[in-house]
Structure 1
């Protein structure tokens, strides 16, 4: 290498250190930018083609090194729609392209970001501080069915009432209850009990209500909803109507049989109410296992309380959810129904699995959207875009939708992964390296001056 080559090498060193300083300055400038990923610098030597015994160290080139795979600190905020990815992955977002006559248009392709400071704008979209719109699957709050893919838009319209169609209940009935209807008679009621496998629907009149209450145990009591959203209190009783007995001669063996009754009134405590048999003989074997009906649910037709017909209600107890081997009273474990009254949206939240949840004035919390999160084989191969967004490249690979092991932390954001102390240290090293390259230029200039002075 001659003096001129040394000058060129020193210049390349100054350019490389200047490039490094540019990255350092950008990292420091964005140390408080949500979801920002710092850019490090790597240096590569450039050696001209020479014989082995004539090779020199050569000049230098600086390259950027992305740190998209390095997570920043997660801090809590007071905004419920803020979210941070705890683990690898990116939010899929789109940008607004136009807004004409109230119609918003978005970019056709997705961008990807770790910036999760999303808030609901005036149109109901979830937009972050960089102007990107969160995408995913929007859901109907009443049915839970998907309504579309793309930017998530939260509707502020009231959710309509949903009539109760299913009551879920599981319990362990007593093997030998302290009270039962076995051998009891009703003076004013017709076919009020099922003492065999025939599914009869009978009504116990108000005159016989006292006999029923004295020979039965309290069952599930919950609030159901009519088609208009009106709340209806449904009170039930379990009564044993037949004891198990072995086969004797031509007389077949009998199982333990229980009946389920519901009150036709919700206001008088059941004493003066009529009670309707649900119409199913629940039969249990000696071990307390349900043997009939051979299903995990039964239908109660025209369930009517306070003259409000709730229609056909599925009484669902699940496989093994209804048994009869308890000691003493009834031990319930599940008791819920799927109806609700109309309600207005009160607040939003984000679950770990990526659901945007809405809490309504009717007490329900329903899923309004599913957030789209993607992962890349090589996240450091993404191309940085403005406002904290990234574009897919050949190096990054195709996006794979799904959280995998990543969780979403609602009411949190991810900070920049820039370490100010580390950047200051790199700045000092860069400054010294730049000064050293200028010293090479000064020395080369002195050598050239000496060479020129030879001929003077």
Structure 2
């Protein structure tokens, strides 16, 4: 069996090198395929006949098997598409395929696939689809808590619904009021000339007829746009007027009154409340005004209803915190370090989509709000080299790969793509070796045939 064994071994070598060539050609063909994982070739020997003694053993035949390189990451490149993604580290995007269109709506297969090809674009129906036609799945996020909903990912669909308006419920206010406000009426010497003339203007709200006099006896406290429950804006403009100086004839704490504009209505300025300060400039107490009441924590005012122009908002809390409202001497005589922040907004249309490093799809709206819509899970496997390859640089689970775990994986990089891990130079080097090995095996067949011819010729 020597000559026939040699032919058999050479033929197995030709077959094995042919498989290696097939893998190489596929790797070269997919060297530019996003997320492609090359297939290497492993050669093993088959002992065709072996004795118990080393002298009786022969080399035998060979066979080739494919070896997956799923764990070898390809280069990551930057792109300009907001919805393109790459995975840095372990894991796969969980995707599925479309199965049918019923009544104009796409239905999807129940089977999940896994891919590293993150070139997802938003189609006409709002689905994220990559170039191979796989639809990305993920977990919807609760609009209130921002937490993922459910345990099973579903097909991600981004709709163009507007974000509803949110009424302003709180205004965080910060300011330092000067020891002496340099109002229009202040003569620069007598501090009492900087006070609000309550004898003339009275206490409480300021009538429209007295607005000019009030402006001359008060200082600006900043302004901010708030929103009512249907998103209509109203301008909240604040002014402060000092009503008591501590160095007056009766030694008492300094007192300021807070007013907000009614936007042209009468009264013109509404008294929210009064704040008193000790000699160190710290606030010591609040007193309710005609429009506001002291809130339950004692660090601000509650405004049950505020009408500015023809717009009314309800339930607004103006909060100073523990140290945000102070009275420190300031030579400018105006309110400094003024900051107003509110928590409401108007309704907004979606204007953009972005993906953060935690794998969350965020929508940006025309009202400057950002909301998380979906969380993208990454699937990992105990033996991902045993995944079954399917079309489109994707895989599906097998009994030997284990089931997908959605609690681990690497990180998602937005506006990135993972390239093929097949390197042209390396594949060409392997190609040269494979070609030479194939030629060598064919030479063995030729030589064996010549030897057989010689043996046959002896008989003739």
TM range (shorter): 0.7 to 0.9
- Establish whether residue 330 from structure 1 lines up as the match of residue 336 from structure 2: yes
Equivalent of 1:348 in 344, 347, 353: 353
Q: Once the 2 structures are TM-superposed, how far is the Cα of residue 114 of structure 1 from its aligned partner?
A: 1.3
When residues 163 and 45 of structure 1 are mapped into structure 2, their CA distance, relative to the original with a 3 A threshold, is same
Is the 2:195–2:217 contact (alpha carbons within 8 Å) kept by the matching residues of 1?
no
Pick closer, same or farther for the CA change 1:93–1:238 going to 2, 3 Å: farther
Q: Which runs of 5+ in 2 are unaligned?
A: 184-191, 287-294
Of 292, 300, 305, 2:303 maps to 300
Partner Cα distance (1:291, 1:398) in 2? 63
Instruction: Supply the distance in 2 between the matched residues of 1:285 and 1:449 (Cα, whole angstroms).
Output: 119
1:166 aligns with 2:166: no
CA distance in 2, matches of 1:28, 1:438: 24
> Residue 427 of structure 1: SS of its match in structure 2?
helix
Matched, 1:406 2:404: no
The answer to whether the Cα contact below 8 Å between 1:91 and 1:113 also exists between their aligned partners in 2 is: yes
Deviation at 1:310, TM superposition (A): 1.1
Q: 1:380 to 1:210 in 2, by over 3 A?
A: farther
In the other structure, the counterpart of 2:365 is 360
CA distance in 1, matches of 2:433, 2:405: 40
Q: Which residue of 2 aligns with 1:198?
A: none
1:71 aligned to which of 70, 73, 79? 73
Cα shift at 1:8: 2.1
> 1:367-389 CA distances to partner (integer Å, 9 max, x unpaired)?
33332333345443432222122
State how far apart, in whole Å, the 1-side matches of 2:25 and 2:403 are: 31
Distance in 1 of aligned mates of 2:170 and 2:197: 32
For the 8 Å contact 1:188–1:207, the answer to whether it is kept is no
Give deviations 1:398-433, integer Å, cap 9, x for gaps: 4343576513213x3322222112211211111111
Number of residue pairs the alignment of both structures matches:
432
What TM-score, normalized by structure 2, do the two folds share?
A: 0.78
Alpha-carbon distance between aligned partners in 2 of 1:434 and 1:367, rounded to the nearest angstrom:
57
1:387 to 387, 392, 406: 392
Could you say which residue in structure 2 is the equivalent of 1:30? 30
**Unmatched tracts of structure 1, length 5 or more:** 193-202, 246-250
What SS does the corresponding residue of 2:81 show, helix, strand or coil? coil
- Give the Cα separation in 1 of the matches to 2:456 and 2:407: 69
Alignment partner, residue 435 of structure 1: 439
Check whether the contact 1:142–1:160 (CA below 8 A) recurs between aligned residues.
no
Q: 1:11·1:437 contact (CA, 8 Å) conserved in 2?
A: yes
Q: Is the 8 A contact 2:148 2:375 kept in 1?
A: no
Q: Which moved more, 1:226-235 or 1:22-31?
A: 226-235
Provide the C-alpha distance between the structure 2 equivalents of 1:107 and 1:295, rounded to a whole number of angstroms. Answer: 58
Once the two structures are superposed, the pairs formed by residues 203-222 of structure 1 within 5 Å of their partners are: 203-206=205-208, 213=215, 218-222=220-224
Q: SS where residue 341 of structure 1 aligns?
A: coil
Mark the CA change 1:163 to 1:454 in structure 2 (over 3 Å): closer, same or farther: same
- Give the structure 2 partner of residue 276 of structure 1: 270
**CA separation of 1:151/1:174 partners in 2, compared to 1, >3 Å: closer, same or farther?**
same
Q: Distance in 2 between matches of 1:325 and 1:343?
A: 39
Change (3 A) 1:25 1:175: same
